[in-house]
Each structure stands twice: as C-alpha cells, then as structure tokens.
Amino acid sequence: MSWNFETEHFLIRLPVSDEDGTALFKLLSQNSAVAHIPRLPMTVEAQALDELRRIAMRFETREAAFWLIERKSDGDVIARIGIQYINWMMLNAQLQWELSAECGLEELQEVLPVIVNYLSQDLHLHRLEMRLRTGSDGQSKLLTALGFSCEGTLPSQQEFEGEDIDLDVYSLLTGELKA
C-alpha cells in the first residue's frame, strides 16, 4: 500500500527524514503557517529534524500520517497536511495542516481530495475533524470553502504562552469534500 500520491501539479508524499529537514524548517518557521494550531514557529533547523523523526515514529505506530505537498515545477514544499489522533474504532481522525503563503484554496482543491479519498476508500475513515485557534479567519474560510462544517467552539482547550486558547471545531464527512 503506497501512501504517496501525485496530482497534475503536486507530489503528495511522506517526508524523508534525511532529506526534508530544510524544506520542513522553511515551512514551519513561518508564524503564519502555524499560528492557527497554535504553535510556535521553529527557530533552528534541528527542530525540523526532530519533527521528522517524531512523525516517522507516529506513522510506524499507525498513530498519525503527515504528507508534504511538493510543487512539481520547482520542488518547493508548500504545505504539510496530516491526520492524527486516529480512532480506528470510530473511524475518524483529526486533520492538521500548515500552509505556506503559496498554498491557498486552489492548491488545496487539487491535493486534499486525493488525501481524503485515500482516507475514505483505503483506510475507511468516515469523519475528519480540524481544530483551529478561534480567530483564524483565513483558515476558517478555506475549511468552509472545502465543505467543512463549523461545529462550534471548545472554550479554554489549551494554554499557550500564558493564555487560555479557545478552539473552533470543523468537521467533514468524507463524502462531503468540495473539489
């Protein structure tokens, strides 16, 4: 079973620990790519190597899967999209993404259906959920445009940099994605 995919303009692939550190650091060092999670941006490239090792271990234990979205034309990584907190009994998972400034609705409409179809057809997951920091309007608009429904807000779900963070919950039943 291959976890790597291809669209007309993008490679959707599992990261390679020894090769993708620089590209992952470039993406995750941008505050705009991680603020909606909430998470601090990376500050040194060694953090990316640790992250690559961590996601490889989580993949091996069937706990999570993260893909890098690489543009075919220039080889740049424009996003990381993953699933985590997979519940194999309930057949659902939590979606997470970090998007560069070059990754918008058009790019997501090309790559996300490939991932969602794989999750639905091969892994038999039927529900995806994404949690965003309240006030992440750009991310919310993308999710809504892709067919996700806002289910509400979980108050004080996280503590981040000394403040309580509310998280908005969006969900998608796998047959509802808008391409």
Is 119 among the domain residues? yes
Is 113 among the domain residues? yes
Is 79 among the domain residues? yes
Is 178 among the domain residues? no
Domain that holds residue 24: 5-173
Reduce the DSSP state of residue 54 to 3 states and report it: helix
Is 133 among the domain residues? yes
Tally of domains in the chain: 1
From 14, 11, 10, select the one nearest 1 (Cα to Cα). Answer: 14
Q: Give the pLDDT confidence of 11-69 residue by residue, as tens digits.
A: 999 998 779 999 999 999 999 999 999 889 999 999 999 999 999 999 999 999 999 99
Is 179 among the domain residues? no
Find tokens 């994605």 and name the residue.
Answer: 177
Full-model pTM: 0.93
From 143, 57, 129, select the one nearest 86 (Cα to Cα). Answer: 129
**CATH code at position 112:** 3.40.630.30
Q: Give the pLDDT confidence of 83-127 residue by residue, as tens digits.
A: 999 999 999 999 999 999 999 999 999 999 999 999 999 999 999
Is 53 among the domain residues? yes
